Amino acid sequence: MASILDEYEDSQNTRQSAQQRNRLSGANIGITHSGFVNVRLEEEKPIFNKQRIDFSPPEKINHLAVCNNQLCLSLGKDTLLRIDLAKPDQPNQIELGRKDDGKVYRLFLDPTGSHLLISLSTSECLYLNRNTQKVRSLSRWRGHLIESVGWNKLLGNETSTGPILVGTSQGIIFEAEISATEGSLFNTNPDQYFRQVHSLEEDGKPAPVCCLEVERGLENKYFIIATTRKRLFQFVGKVAEGSEQQGFSSIFNQNQELLPSFQEFPADMGYSEITFYTSKLRSSPKAFAWMMGNGVLYGQLDSVRPDSLLSDVQVWEYTPDIDLSLKKPISIVLTQFHFLLLLDDRVKAICTLNGQVVYEDVFPDKFGTLKKMIKDPVGGLVWIYTERAVFRYHIQRESRDVWQMYMSMNKFDLAKEYCRDRPECMDMVLAKEAEHCFQNKRYLESAKCYALTQNYFEEIALKFIEAKQEEALKEFLLKKLNNLKQSERTQITLLVTWLTELYLNRLGQLESDGNSIIFQETRDEFRQFLNSSKHKECLFNNRSTIYDLLASHGNVDDMVYFSVVMQDYERVISHYCQHDDYSAALEVLSKHCDQKLFYKFSPVLMQHIPKKVVDAWIQMGKRLDPKKLIPALMNYSQMGSTQQITETIRYMEFCVYELNVTEEAIHNYLLSLYAKYRPDSLLLYLEQAGTHASEIHYDLKYALRLCAEHGYLRACVLVYRIMELYEEAVDLALQVDVDLAKSCADLPDDDEELRKKLWLKIARHVVQEEKDVKKAMNCLSSCNLLKIEDILPFFPDFVTIDHFKEAICNSLEEYNQHIEELKQEMEEATESAKRIREDIQEMRNKYGVVDSQEKCAACDFPLLNRPFYLFLCGHMFHYDCLFQEVSPHLSTYKQTRLEELQKKLTATMQSSKSRHRPAPKDEGDTSSLGKGNAGTSREQIKSDIDDIIAAECVYCGELIIKSIDKPFIDPQKFEDEKLSWL
């Protein structure tokens, strides 16, 4: 349970930490207002948090050493207490067993916490290993009062220290090595060797070696720092690789030829102490702090410098409350940003950045005078002890307020580095940096920093406007724009519009000044801004405003560029057309391949550059609809230019022959162009277009009218032939060429009467118009339908028979041959009828024998039970069984016919049964007559049914063979049949 004094002490610490925070927050006054609200949900813990160890020593504490969580205390005269901080409830107490008056002078613990050196006031030294309880004397060390030890961090382990350096009160530096393993029979000492390597002096006299530090740098380079009361020595040398075990003698030998490098201060307080800060375990120290008579010398350690290891050295002079004659500082410990100074009743923390005291902790008198302060280089804890108590300091988040110090020193990069994870602090640093740059007229840098802050946008913008710094304002707006989210559309629109205006003003100013290089760079920057993908949506939505701004400044080139970026090609093409730059307009049109723009601008372009336009159309191919280009083509083809007409025909031919366009309008238009300008190509086109109406893509009636208007008779004949108007074709062909008419007359192959009529027309024309008997005879030979008697009426009376003698003889011979063929056919028919009658008579006399045990081939029941059929092949069927077998294989017509016959048969049978009463005598003849007619009718019906179902055997006949490709189950009934099986 804590005492009242302890509670008072804790309250004092809390108050001091609160005062410290208030001092730091007070430094923020004057900084531009930030948009961040700094709300802390809980009170921050102080950086230096003191804790008293719950430990009541049985005797007074003389000395304390701690390293790697191993705590060693010297109690009273002869007691040593070892505590493993991982197991604080299991302390290990060892008695030194000294009977003389020797007291413990100093304790030295290596970085591993395994090797403890106990320096006695009798100039003796003892050794204790962590794994043993036996204290061993170092005989070679006797006679030397040990003041300091430089441990070997590279080679030291739990069993051996490796080569180490030992400093004495007489200024001698020894090199030694201690091994924890048991020695041989003749050598039981743990110290392997102990030899002098150097000695230090002050004012020509030996001076105690207060501190020793050994560090290894790059390329096997070693640094040794040794201090006396007012001197700091540096020894630098290289050790051959693999020879580290041989010790440090070579380093001191390398420095023998030169005077040792050291720094000396005039003041002397009888002792000094040096401490180092190492960021990571087993790495080289980064900074040092040396407590000596003039103050505290602190700085950085730079192993790269050739002349000295120390850099950025400063001296912090002791404050007036530290009187070296009465209240000397006792110990010093260095952390990352502070060094702690131990006085007899308090601890002071001084920031190494500005030399200010940031923390002061006063210890109550009840604990006694403070004796020593030690830092565990491995654990990072700071330990302080008095004769009756042990304290430790936890250092937490030491760098959290460093950013303010760097900011006050105008070291903004370092300040930002240490508040990277605290946006409210980062904002303050950026604001201070921006203000600093603005005051130093570094406006561009100031704008970049201001853009990253949450300061009021309007104030910053007005600042740059009042300073007439448009470039800085533009830079600020650009950075601010890039930092906005896509959801902040209003802000983005405002900035984009404003930046556009600034760019345009700048371009106009540069153009008027004639500075072409900067003008081009600014234009490239402006176009890059317009082409920004991040703000494309905003530029697109506000493109009309941007167009108005560009137009107001008369910036035509950038307006065209912006139109291309926005894919507003219609505006670009319109601009080129208005300035008569039709080739550029067509280039844009061809590059972006927009069909709608082709349809819109082709009329204008066709008027001026028809060949290039048609080339572009052809390159577009099927992506264009030729039908939509016809109005422009027709307009200029009627107006007159030969080049335009030629290019129009070229494109139409490309559509018809290359693209295989089937649109009727395209073919009709090409026909009209051929008819008007290229008659030679008209007939060729009609012949290639096809000879049947189904193959034709143009309007036949329109083509006929077009050819008739221009008097192209052959083309008209060709159209008539396609329309199958053969009489008109022959009539028109006779006006041109008889051979053409003959070719038309032979076309109706399936209508001999029409062919004969057409050939008669040709013959009449030859006889009456040309009066050429020989040609008329050729007509007879060309058409086998014409006879001499068909064309004789066309000849005039004065024509003699000599002209027809040969034709008449040929005709008579043909008639005679025909008569002979008819006679032969009649004889063959008579002979065939005779054979048929004989076969019928023979069939009537055939019969078959049916046994009483015979069965129906379909149902396998006795055959004689019901009416049956007997076939010549031997198969026998009941009437009804045969009916069922044959019906599915009959055609639809026969099935319908069979149903009608069955209905008629049923009706005749019912009418015969209804006559059950006897007839009168006078009516007997009539009744008999009617009965006879009914019987005759039934027999005829049965005969017709037999002709259908019993025409052939259902198993051996042709009917079943034809049904071999039919499925067993009707496809329409397959699903029902399948479901019935499930």
Q: Cα(604)–Cα(620) distance, rounded to whole angstroms?
A: 18
Q: What is the pLDDT of residues 352-362, one digit of tens each?
A: 888 888 889 99
The pLDDT, as a whole number, for residue 925 is: 41
Q: Cα(369)–Cα(507) distance, rounded to whole angstroms?
A: 77
- Other residues' Cβ atoms within 10 Å of the Cβ of residue 431: 22
Given a cut of 90, whether residue 535 has pLDDT beyond it is no
Mean pLDDT of the chain: 78
Could you tell me the CA-to-CA distances from 408 to 405, 432, 438, 453, 560 in Å, in that order?
A: 5, 9, 16, 18, 51
The segment with the largest mean pLDDT, out of 5-19, 285-299, 603-617, is 285-299
User: Residue type for 912, please?
Assistant: S
Phi, psi of 218 (to 5 degrees): -80, 155
Instruction: Name the burial class of residue 499, with classes exposed (0-12), middle (13-18) and buried (19+) by CB atoms within 10 angstroms of its CB.
Output: buried
**Helix, strand counts (H, E) of the chain:** 34, 32
Beta strands in 151-190 (DSSP E): 164-168, 172-178
Q: Taking the C-alpha atoms of 455, 456, 458 and 459 in order, what is their torsion angle to the nearest 10 degrees?
A: -60
Given a cut of 90, whether residue 208 has pLDDT beyond it is yes
Write the secondary structure of 733-748 as one string of H (helix), E (strand) and C (coil): HCCCCHHHHHHHHCCC
**CB-based contact 344:336 (threshold 8 Å):** no
**CB-based contact 373:330 (threshold 8 Å):** yes
Q: What is the pLDDT of residues 901-912, one digit of tens each?
A: 888 888 887 776
Given a cut of 70, whether residue 482 has pLDDT beyond it is yes
Give 465's pLDDT tier (boundaries 50, 70, 90). Answer: confident
Give 115's pLDDT tier (boundaries 50, 70, 90). Answer: very high
pTM over 0.75: no
**CB-based contact 46:390 (threshold 8 Å):** no
Q: Cα(712)–Cα(722) distance, rounded to whole angstroms?
A: 16
The pLDDT, as a whole number, for residue 441 is: 87
Residues 6+ apart with CB under 8 A from 235: 198, 223, 224, 225, 226, 251, 252, 255, 260, 261
**CB-based contact 494:480 (threshold 8 Å):** no
The pLDDT, as a whole number, for residue 537 is: 80
Q: What is the pLDDT of residues 946-970, one digit of tens each?
A: 888 888 888 888 877 777 777 777 7
**CB-based contact 383:376 (threshold 8 Å):** yes
CATH 2.40.128-classified regions of the chain: 96-228+231-264
Q: Cα(387)–Cα(920) distance, rounded to whole angstroms?
A: 167
Q: What is the pLDDT of residues 680-719, one digit of tens each?
A: 877 787 777 777 777 788 877 887 888 878 777 777 877 7
Give 848's pLDDT tier (boundaries 50, 70, 90). Answer: confident
The pLDDT, as a whole number, for residue 42 is: 43
**CB-based contact 61:386 (threshold 8 Å):** yes
DSSP class of residue 385 equals E
Residues 6+ apart with CB under 8 A from 771: none
How far is C-alpha 857 from the chain's CA centre? 78
- Other residues' Cβ atoms within 10 Å of the Cβ of residue 345: 15
Pairing of strands 346-351, 357-362: antiparallel
CATH of domain 96-228+231-264: 2.40.128
Of 12-21, 342-351, 392-401, 758-767, the poorest mean pLDDT is in 12-21
Given a cut of 90, whether residue 860 has pLDDT beyond it is no
Q: What is the pLDDT of residues 70-99, one digit of tens each?
A: 999 999 888 899 998 888 888 888 888 777
